[in-house]
């Protein structure tokens, strides 16, 4: 294969091209030794096989081309890669007849450091989603942006201030390939912006079986300003951000169309991508000669939205003027008014609002919506309730699919070994539930040994990384030599690494620095701590937290026990989650939508000490780790102090003593029992295998079915539904209720109610008795049956319903909701009338 960015390789080495461009290497690790053999220095520094192929000398390549054992190994690896691509999969085994296609849209992807296009958890999740889709054979194609500078890299200056550095991502050195159109030209996707056309170039990334398409604007045909649109991730102002989101949504859909791909499902990873739903409808509209609303009704069945935001203030919001400027031309194309366009992203239906909210747009244009943990689902129902006036919070249409992590990307070589021994090689290619039993059988000795190896590796890595960062700052040889002796491979090792932002409370452990110092330097039971994390460039508070840590680690007394490692990235995260004994997480509940870093320690035998927030609120039981907080939300100012106290107490009185309580062989049996419980009970459950299987069953498959049904025959059902909705909406005000009568009966109540529907036929409504469920109860809400006509009334009926219950009649309130068998309520129509009066 001749690649535009690669010189010709000597005969026999051609297979290196495909091997290096398939990111499967990033998690199979099967070829690590091969890249290392070609160029150990570049491999160690960059973990980028593609760069190795570009930079290695001709001489080295000639040598390798003569090396029979290297060639044999290359053959074996390329064959293994092909076998992986052809292998049977969970999806194929279970849904052999399903030929649906899912398109996944995300602003960021964390796949490997060789492709640094992420800032944090959202990107990691997206990366793990794609890798898992590859492993499970789920038919996903993904779309994102290629940033010239990505997210910033972090350094600290001598005073501990964060410096932001933006090294240039050289596209030709990243494992990506330009996509060619049929005529051989570079595929470019045009987008109409005010006064100009923006061209987006298309690149392809091979993520195992999954294709990821990346768009970038750095094309010489664009204006200098527009070339910078895909410059930075989460940099620039509101306008840049808006255009980035237009590029992702509109550009993303156009790119897929240009490639001949017509997905059944669009999955929006956060509201950033929501414009894709409009572009999808626009395509449908033009191809089927229907109007925008009919097209939206038809295509919405296939749209899935995952929200990650825990507070309304964090939604992506654009001012009206910007939407007006950028949306004017587009509204014309859609055949809707500027006001109607605005209304799609506004709280009110009339489009008078001043703010266009991307999450609202997503709620209006997607049929299946989920938060990312059980608690976050609940929080989301609260923060979206503005969009569904008169609906009880529990019926706000947001469910949850708890996040998971792609285990093969985060396990250590030693964890891989021990899991392979007990659960076999293909364990993360299928259903994870069966793994728990096998891991339970692991002996104390084996568990404690592998933990020791992982901790040792982390200590080595941390020393090197520290020496490198000190060297960068110009430290002298004496200091560098000292750094080589910091930390201790046998000491209880705590890890804290995350974005430094207020709600994560990265200073909670530092609240009483002297107490932390005493804890770390205890002469009998010493402790060590590794800290890392970046603050967003505009987050001054976050930067002050970093400075506080920098100040603390420079205390001579704690130097050997605590290090701050700069530039928290995937590589560092991998080392940390593999090596620590305890992973600490201190968010302010309920601000951590899910959190995933704590899940990454599970497979490696690390234990969690975390606030009862996000995933930990549903994972925690006393035998698997430790919990902070009381499982409630607290706004009072003194609460941080309470939790800081709890954090120190747990460490001093429980965690540290347990780690050092050893049996005659030197094994901490209680500790190991917790490792075993955490590994067996939690690692499978919080793997992305479980997560993606839930997405398939609860979101993708129903979405495929709904999309196909609604779009069949040029969108016939879509048109029916659009007409149904406007009819019902127009006449909804005519509904009124009267004469509620309740009679006591044997074992319950008989309700009857007069319902006047006006122009609305009775089959377009459901009349129901609503009651808040009592604790722990899941009641089916009883439907009231349409009985006799009310004489002289148009569509006036007596509805009645007998219920068996011990609850008082006053717990039940009748209500009328719009109903169509093919419409989801309330996400597609929230039309509802409640019984208000007493009669």
Ligand X SMILES: *Cc1c(COP(=O)(O)O)cnc(C)c1O
Contacts with ligand X by CB under 6 A lie at 120-121, 124, 498, 568-570, 573, 595-597, 600
Q: Would you say 591 or 812 has its CB closer to ligand X?
A: 591
Minimum distance, C-beta of residue 529 to ligand X, in the bound complex (Å)? 17
Minimum CB distance to ligand X smaller for 368 or for 504: 504
Quick one: angle between helices 701-731 and 275-288, nearest 10?
80
CA distance to 57, 96, 701, 702, per residue, from 93 (Å): 45, 6, 15, 18
Residue 600: half-sphere exposure toward Cβ, Cα within 13 Å? 31
Among 270, 234, 260, 244, smallest CA distance to 145 is for: 244
**E runs forming strands in 475-565:** 492-497, 527-532, 562-565
CB of 499 to ligand X, least distance (A): 6
Closest CB to ligand X among residues 592, 643:
592
CB of 590 to ligand X, least distance (A): 14
Question: DSSP code of 330?
Answer: H
Q: Least distance from C-beta 307 to ligand X, angstroms?
A: 15
At residue 818, φ and ψ (nearest 5 deg) are -65, 145
Cβ proximity to ligand X: between 277 and 585 the closer is 585
Q: What is the DSSP string of 206-238?
A: EETTEEEEEEE---TTS-HHHHTTTSBTT-S-H
Non-local CB neighbours of 215 within 8 Å, separated by 6+ positions: 143, 144, 145, 146, 189, 200, 201, 202, 203, 230, 247, 248, 251, 252, 255
Cα separation of 609 and 127, whole Å? Answer: 26
Place of tokens 């941390």: 462
CA atoms within 13 A on the CB side of 742: 13
Whole-number Å distance between alpha carbons of 317 and 429 = 39
Residue 110, token pair as written in the block: 């964390």
What's the closest the beta carbon of residue 549 comes to ligand X, in angstroms? 16
C-alpha–C-alpha distance, residues 268 and 305, integer Å: 5
Q: Which one, 497 or 818, has the nearer CB to ligand X?
A: 497
Cis peptide before 37, with omega less than 30 degrees from 0? no
- Minimum gap (Å) between residue 685 Cβ and ligand X: 16
Q: CB of 838: closest distance to ligand X in angstroms?
A: 51
By three-state DSSP, how is residue 738 classified? strand
Going by C-alpha positions, the residue among 75, 61, 87, 83 that lies closest to residue 15 is 75
Q: What is the 3-state secondary structure (H, E, C) of 282-298?
A: HHHHHHHCCCHHHHHHH
164 or 569: CB nearest ligand X: 569
In angstroms, give the least distance from the CB of 662 to ligand X. 31
Question: CA 226 to CA 742: how far, in whole Å?
Answer: 67
Q: State in Å, rounded, how far the first CA of the chain is from the last one.
A: 81
Parallel/antiparallel/unpaired status of strands 265-269 and 303-306:
parallel
Our CB check for ligand X shows the closer of 595 and 826 to be: 595
The CA distances from residue 65 to 13, 31, 38, 56, 621, in Å, are 6, 17, 11, 13, 56
Q: In the 8-state DSSP scheme, what is residue 788?
A: E
CB 745, min distance to ligand X, A? 54
> What are the distances in angstroms from CA 796 to CA 175, 742, 763, 786?
67, 19, 13, 10
HEC string for 356-394: EEHHHHHHHHCCEEEECCHHHHHHHHHHCHHHCCCCCHH
Q: List CB contacts of 772: < 8 A, sequence separation 6 or more.
A: 392, 394, 811
Q: How far is the CB of 690 from ligand X (least distance, A)?
A: 17
CA dihedral 324, 326, 328, 331 (to 10 degrees): -110
Minimum CB–partner distance for residue 311 and ligand X (Å): 15
Q: Which two tokens stand for residue 404?
A: 């998971």
Task: Report the candidate in 597, 611, 559, 601 with the shortest Cα–Cα distance to residue 580.
Answer: 601
Kindly tell me which of 574 and 768 has the beta carbon lying closer to ligand X.
574
* Minimum separation from the CB atom of position 174 to ligand X (A): 18
Output the smallest distance, CB 803 to ligand X, in A: 46
Least distance from ligand X to the Cβ atom of residue 591, Å: 11
Q: Which is nearer to ligand X, 572 or 827 (CB)?
A: 572
Nearer to ligand X, 461 or 568 (CB): 568
Q: Which CB atom, from 105 or from 568, has the smaller least distance to ligand X? A: 568
Radius of gyration of the chain (CA): 29
Which of residues 610 and 764 has its CB atom nearest to ligand X in the complex? 610
Query: How far apart are CB 586 and ligand X at their closest, in Å?
Result: 11
CB 57 to ligand X: min, Å: 33
C-beta of 596 vs 764, nearer to ligand X: 596
Tokens of 760: 């609305």
* DSSP secondary structure of 47-107: --HHHHHHHS-HHHHHHHHH-HHHHHHHHHHHHHHHHHHHS--HHHHH-TT----EEEE-S
Token reading at 545: 């937290």
Residue closer to ligand X (CB basis): 517 or 618:
618
Q: Shortest Cβ distance from residue 129 to ligand X (Å)?
A: 13
Which C-beta is closer to ligand X: that of 121 or that of 625? 121
For the bound state, the minimum distance from the C-beta of residue 24 to ligand X, rounded and expressed in Å, comes to 19
Q: Which is nearer to ligand X, 50 or 496 (CB)?
A: 496
For ligand X, the closer CB: 230 or 501: 501
Distance separating alpha carbons of residues 415 and 409, to the nearest angstrom? 12
């Amino acid at each position: 294969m001749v690649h535009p960015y690669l010189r010709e390789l000597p005969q026999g080495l051609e297979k290196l091209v495909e091997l290096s461009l398939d990111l499967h290497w990033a998690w199979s690790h099967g070829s690590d030794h091969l890249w290392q053999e070609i160029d150990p220095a570049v491999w160690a520094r960059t973990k980028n096989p593609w760069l190795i192929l570009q930079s290695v000398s001709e001489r080295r390549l000639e040598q390798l081309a003569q090396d029979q054992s290297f060639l044999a190994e290359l053959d074996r690896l390329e064959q293994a890669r092909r076998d992986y691509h052809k292998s049977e999969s969970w999806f194929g085994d279970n849904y052999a007849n399903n030929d649906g296609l899912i398109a996944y849209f995300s602003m960021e992807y964390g796949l490997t450091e060789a492709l640094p296009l992420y800032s944090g958890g959202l990107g990691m999740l997206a990366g793990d989603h794609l890798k898992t889709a590859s492993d499970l054979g789920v038919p996903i194609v993904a779309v994102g942006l290629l940033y010239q500078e990505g997210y910033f890299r972090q350094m600290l200056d001598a005073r501990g201030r964060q410096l932001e550095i933006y090294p240039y991502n050289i596209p030709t050195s990243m494992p990506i390939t330009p996509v060619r159109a049929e005529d051989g030209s570079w595929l470019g996707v045009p987008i109409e912006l005010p006064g100009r056309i923006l061209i987006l170039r298309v690149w392809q990334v091979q993520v195992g079986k999954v294709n990821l398409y990346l768009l970038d604007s750095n094309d010489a045909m664009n204006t200098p300003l527009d070339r910078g649109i895909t410059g930075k991730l989460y940099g620039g102002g509101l306008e840049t951000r808006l255009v980035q989101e237009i590029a992702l949504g509109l550009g993303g859909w156009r790119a897929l169309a240009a490639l001949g791909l017509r997905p059944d499902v669009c999955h929006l990873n956060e509201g950033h991508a929501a414009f894709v739903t409009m572009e999808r409808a626009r395509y449908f509209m033009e191809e089927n000669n229907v109007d925008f609303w009919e097209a939206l009704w038809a295509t919405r069945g296939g749209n899935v939205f995952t929200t990650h935001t825990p507070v309304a203030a964090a939604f992506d919001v654009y001012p009206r003027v910007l939407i007006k400027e950028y949306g004017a031309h587009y509204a014309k194309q859609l055949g809707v008014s500027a006001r109607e366009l605005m209304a799609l992203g506004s709280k009110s239906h009339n489009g008078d609002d001043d703010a266009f909210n991307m999450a609202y747009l997503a709620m209006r244009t997607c049929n299946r919506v989920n938060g990312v943990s059980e608690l976050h689902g609940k929080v989301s129902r609260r923060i979206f309730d503005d969009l569904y006036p008169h609906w009880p919070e529990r019926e706000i249409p947001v469910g949850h699919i708890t996040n998971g992590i792609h285990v093969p990307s985060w396990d250590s070589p030693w964890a891989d070994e021990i899991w392979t021994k007990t659960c076999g090689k293909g364990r993360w290619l299928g259903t994870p539930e069966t793994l728990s039993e096998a891991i339970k059988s692991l002996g104390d000795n084996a568990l404690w040994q592998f933990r020791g190896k992982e901790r040792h590796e982390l200590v080595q890595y941390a020393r090197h990384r520290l020496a490198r960062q000190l060297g960068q700052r110009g430290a002298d040889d004496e200091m560098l030599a000292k750094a080589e002796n910091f930390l201790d491979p046998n000491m209880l090792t705590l890890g804290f690494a995350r974005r430094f932002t207020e709600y994560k409370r990265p200073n909670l452990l530092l609240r009483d620095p002297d107490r932390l110092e005493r804890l770390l330097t205890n002469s009998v039971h010493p402790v060590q701590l590794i800290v890392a994390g970046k603050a967003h460039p505009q987050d001054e508070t976050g930067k002050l937290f970093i400075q506080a840590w920098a100040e603390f680690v420079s205390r001579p007394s704690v130097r050997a026990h605590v290090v701050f490692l700069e530039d928290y990235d995937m590589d560092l995260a991998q080392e940390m989650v593999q090596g620590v004994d305890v992973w600490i997480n201190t968010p302010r509940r309920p601000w951590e939508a899910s959190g995933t870093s704590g899940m990454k320690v599970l497979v490696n035998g690390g234990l969690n000490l975390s606030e009862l927030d996000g995933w930990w609120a549903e994972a925690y039981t006393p035998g698997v780790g430790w919990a902070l907080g009381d499982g409630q939300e607290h706004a009072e100012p003194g609460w941080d102090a309470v939790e800081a106290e709890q954090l120190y107490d747990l460490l001093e009185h429980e965690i540290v003593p347990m780690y050092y309580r050893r049996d005659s062989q030197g094994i901490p049996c209680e500790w190991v029992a917790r490792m075993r419980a955490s590994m067996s009970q939690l690692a499978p459950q919080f793997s992305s295998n479980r997560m993606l299987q839930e997405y398939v069953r609860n979101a993708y498959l129903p979405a495929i079915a709904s999309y196909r049904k609604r779009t069949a025959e040029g969108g016939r059902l879509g048109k029916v539904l659009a007409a149904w909705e406007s009819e019902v909406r127009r006449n909804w005000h005519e509904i009124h209720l009267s004469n509620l009568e309740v009679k006591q009966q044997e074992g319950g109540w008989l309700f009857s109610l007069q319902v006047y529907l006006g122009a609305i036929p009775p089959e377009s409504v459901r009349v129901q008795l609503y009651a808040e469920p009592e604790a722990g109860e899941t009641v089916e809400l009883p439907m009231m049956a349409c009985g006799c006509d009310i004489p002289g009334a148009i569509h006036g009926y007596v509805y009645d319903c007998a219920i068996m219950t011990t609850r008082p009649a006053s717990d039940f309130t009748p209500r009328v909701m719009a109903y169509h068998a093919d419409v989801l309520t309330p996400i597609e129509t929230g039309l509802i009338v409640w019984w208000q009066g007493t009669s």
